[in-house]
């Protein structure tokens, strides 16, 4: 027993070194970055995560190989609103002073340029933005909402113009490329571009911008001129991304990529996830306490995924929930806790299930090693990644079984060895043990759809 404890402690102490080193896999975990406030496109296929840590703003840069660094801009994060554009974070703080015996309202703007590491500040006097409004920055101008208008200032903090709202204003946001600023109001959407603006009859309290359009609260995606784009089941509240020709967003609980008639689910995307990307990579970032799960995909990864699914045989009536590996006769894509009844309902076929001893299983959960037989087809073996005991759930017994395999005291074979590849890199080693342990503690999401 003492030997087991020593080995397990070694596994856990070296977990970070193995599992979080730069790699080509699509998933990693960033620890101790604070409470995530937003994730934004950086440059050169990087992402910038803005978080609040110790009541100060914290910026974490992460690239597609998961190399990262944290920077503290040194700005108080308590109740200070912000805007972002192209590596620059702008923090807006309302203030009041007495000038010539009369109260004067002003706004202090601090601009932190992540790539230069420089913070500059300026003050705009005699302005009173709404306390509940949002701000926008397009790289050249600041936009602030008052009860009756949007005030536009240059990056030198000089007044440029005023745009009447004509109705209650809800929110301001800029597109990733800075070409458009969107102002949502109670009587339509104002699309601001340079010195001009267009009013569209689109009613939404918040706009979720894309590089070439925007999404509204009604789950519709639009081009900048108001033409709608179909993306079935799209949930815009978590953001949206572009990766090459793919439009990426959250649908049905998954990060989903769409390109014309092609559609592929990349990984689970929870309600609290941030979805970001513009260029050749996109990512899904899910806060976990003071850290975040990061899953990043390139346009090539998406093409490879859909080619893999297209070449695989899909069970009758399947909507890509479960995939059959025709070469190895394995059924994957099964979430822990999936029941026999739920599987049958999803695939729309009279699938039958048999345990390793040949006994038919008509109810309960599906675990690794269960044989699945479709009418007119040969048997396949279920694989639930992380479930190396075949119980259909993931718990400490799976950690022990995987530990025994790594120690050489017990060997995993067949579907159980496949299920042990928790950290998806094609091998079973310390990284898998670390990932399995972290998944039980809610700090790592095991990908079932690969």
Length of the chain: 450
Q: Are the beta carbons of 266 and 284 closer than 8 angstroms? A: yes
Instruction: Report pLDDT digits (tens) over 49-99.
Output: 999 988 889 899 988 878 777 787 878 877 778 899 989 999 988 888 887
Residue 376 token pair:
């007119």
Instruction: Report pLDDT digits (tens) over 68-82.
Output: 777 878 788 777 788
The candidate with the shortest Cα–Cα distance to 112, out of 170, 56, 35, 186, is 56
226 band by pLDDT with thresholds 50, 70 and 90: confident
- The span from the CA of 315 to the CA of 331, in Å, is 9
User: What does DSSP assign to residue 445?
Assistant: P
Q: Are the beta carbons of 238 and 258 closer than 8 angstroms? A: no
Q: Are the beta carbons of 180 and 209 closer than 8 angstroms? A: yes
Q: How many CB atoms lie within 10 A of CB 202?
A: 18
Max CA separation in the chain (angstroms): 91
Torsion sign across C-alpha atoms 375, 380, 385, 391: positive
The candidate with the shortest Cα–Cα distance to 239, out of 266, 261, 221, is 221
Q: Are the beta carbons of 433 and 402 closer than 8 angstroms? A: yes
Residue 210 token pair:
């894309």
- The span from the CA of 330 to the CA of 131, in Å, is 57
Instruction: Report pLDDT digits (tens) over 151-173.
Output: 999 999 999 999 999 899 998 99
- The span from the CA of 85 to the CA of 44, in Å, is 15
Q: Residue 13: pLDDT above 80?
A: no
Strands (E), 64-154: 68-71, 82-85, 88-99, 102-113, 118-125, 136-137, 141-145, 149-154
More confident residue, 357 or 375: 357
What percentage of the chain has pLDDT greater than the value 90? 26
Return the pLDDT at 21.
Answer: 36
Return the pLDDT at 378.
Answer: 67
Instruction: Report pLDDT digits (tens) over 406-417.
Output: 999 999 999 999
- The span from the CA of 167 to the CA of 199, in Å, is 12
Mean pLDDT of 350-371: 87
Return the pLDDT at 310.
Answer: 52
Instruction: Report pLDDT digits (tens) over 258-292.
Output: 887 778 888 888 888 999 887 788 999 999 888 89
Q: State the pTM of this model.
A: 0.62
Instruction: Report pLDDT digits (tens) over 313-333.
Output: 444 434 446 777 777 889 999
């Amino acid at each position: 027993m003492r030997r087991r404890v020593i080995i397990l402690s070694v596994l856990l102490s070296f977990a970070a070194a193995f599992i979080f080193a730069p790699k080509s896999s699509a998933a990693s975990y960033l620890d101790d970055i604070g409470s995530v406030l937003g994730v934004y496109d950086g440059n050169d296929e990087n992402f910038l995560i803005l978080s609040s840590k110790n009541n100060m703003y914290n910026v974490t840069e992460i690239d597609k190989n998961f190399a990262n660094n944290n920077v503290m801009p040194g700005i108080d994060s308590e109740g200070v609103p912000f805007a972002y554009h192209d590596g620059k974070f702008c923090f807006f703080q309302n203030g009041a002073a007495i000038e010539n015996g009369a109260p004067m309202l002003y706004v202090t703007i601090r601009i932190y340029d992540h790539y230069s590491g420089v913070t500059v500040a300026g003050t705009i006097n005699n302005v009173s933005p709404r306390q509940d409004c949002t701000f926008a920055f397009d790289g050249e101008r600041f936009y602030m909402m008052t009860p009756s208008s949007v005030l536009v200032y240059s990056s030198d903090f000089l007044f440029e113009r005023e745009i009447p709202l004509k109705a209650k204003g809800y929110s301001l946001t800029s597109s990733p490329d800075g070409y458009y600023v969107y102002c949502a109001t109670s009587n339509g959407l104002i699309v601001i571009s340079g010195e001009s603006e267009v009013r569209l009859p689109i009613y939404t309290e918040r706009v979720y911008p894309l590089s070439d359009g925007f999404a509204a609260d009604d789950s519709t995606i639009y081009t900048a001129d108001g033409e709608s784009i179909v993306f079935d089941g799209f949930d815009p509240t978590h953001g949206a991304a572009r990766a090459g020709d793919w439009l990426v967003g959250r649908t049905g609980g998954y990060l989903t990529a769409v390109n014309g008639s092609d559609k592929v689910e990349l990984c689970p995307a929870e309600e609290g996830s941030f979805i970001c990307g513009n260029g050749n990579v996109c990512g899904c970032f899910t806060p976990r306490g003071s850290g975040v799960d990061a899953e990043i995909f390139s346009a090539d990864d998406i093409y490879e995924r859909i080619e893999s699914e297209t070449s695989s045989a899909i069970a009758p009536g399947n909507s890509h929930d479960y995939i059959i590996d025709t070469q190895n006769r394995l059924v994957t894509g099964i979430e822990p806790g999936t029941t026999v009844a739920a599987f049958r309902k999803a695939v729309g076929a009279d699938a039958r299930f048999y345990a390793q001893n040949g006994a038919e299983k008509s109810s309960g959960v599906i675990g690794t090693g269960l044989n699945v037989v479709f009418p007119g087809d040969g048997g396949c073996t279920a694989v639930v990644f992380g479930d190396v005991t075949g119980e259909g759930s993931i718990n400490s017994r799976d950690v022990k079984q995987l530990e025994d395999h790594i120690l050489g005291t017990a060997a995993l074979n067949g579907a159980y060895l496949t299920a042990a590849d928790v950290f998806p890199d094609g091998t079973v080693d310390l990284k898998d043990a670390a990932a399995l342990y972290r998944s039980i503690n809610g700090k790592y999401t095991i990908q079932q759809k690969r």
